[in-house]
Amino acid sequence: MSEEINYKKLIVDSGKKMVGSGLTVETWGNISAMDRSTGLVYLTPSGMDYSAITEDDVVVCDIDGNIKDGFRKPTIEKDLHLAVYRKRNEVNAIIHTHPIYSMVFATQGRDIPIITDEAAQVLGDTIRCSKYALPGSRELMENCAEAVGEKANACLLNSHGAVCLGKDMKSAFKTAKILEMTAQILYMIEASGGKPAGISPENIAAMQEMMKSYGQK
Ligand SMILES: [Zn+2]
């Protein structure tokens, strides 16, 4: 139930989890969650150590970016998060990180295709790499929304990092983990002189259908 979520606590806990997971280093990367019942977006503050932030440091804004609560400066990628929430109604959590293997492809401006069953089930579509734009710019926000498209649960930001989406924070972390794993596998395939065998569009669609009813009721 969305009304039971303490969104500020969710952001604080997720920041610690992001750093602990090795998905990013220092103060890079940022996290947000959206409460669709109130239209409010909760964001990590700009340039603060994730192990030290408290609920008071979380910045709250509306979908147009007007600050509603909090005294910190929000992450410089605030508008990028908002653009994704505007484009994709089913997305309620976003994690932006700079993980090594995803960066191998982001720095080459390369897409990451669906090469494993997990990627088909979790990533949703080919993970496209955006055109380059400066951090925090309007252009980066537009390029990110374009790269993420209608179906993919993540995109790469050219020479910068990854943006991972989920219907909730747990799903966004799952996306982040599977994206980095897929990038690592692709890197290792190429390093060993190989090529991924590939999965047919029919089988990708079948797995995505299967996932809708997967697990316990
Ligand atoms: Zn970044």
Going from the Cα of 40 to the center of ligand 1, the distance in angstroms, rounded, reads 22
- Give me the active site residues, please: 77
Mean pLDDT check: name the lowest of 17-26, 45-54, 169-178, 205-214: 17-26
Would you place residue 3 in the very low, low, confident or very high pLDDT band (cuts 50, 70, 90)? low
Give the per-residue pLDDT at 215. 76
Ligand 1 centroid to residue 207 C-alpha, Å: 31
CA distance 70 to 43: 10
For residue 97, the CA-to-ligand 1 centroid distance in Å is: 6
Residue of 18, 80, 7, 2 lying closest to 50 (CA atoms):
18
User: Does the pLDDT value for residue 2 go beyond 80?
Assistant: no
What does pTM read for this prediction?
Answer: 0.94
Nearest CA among 130, 125, 138 for reference residue 108: 130
Residue 178, pLDDT above cutoff 90: yes
Whole-angstrom Cα distance, residue 23 to residue 46? 18
pLDDT at 51: 86
Going by pLDDT thresholds of 50, 70 and 90, the confidence category of residue 217 is: low
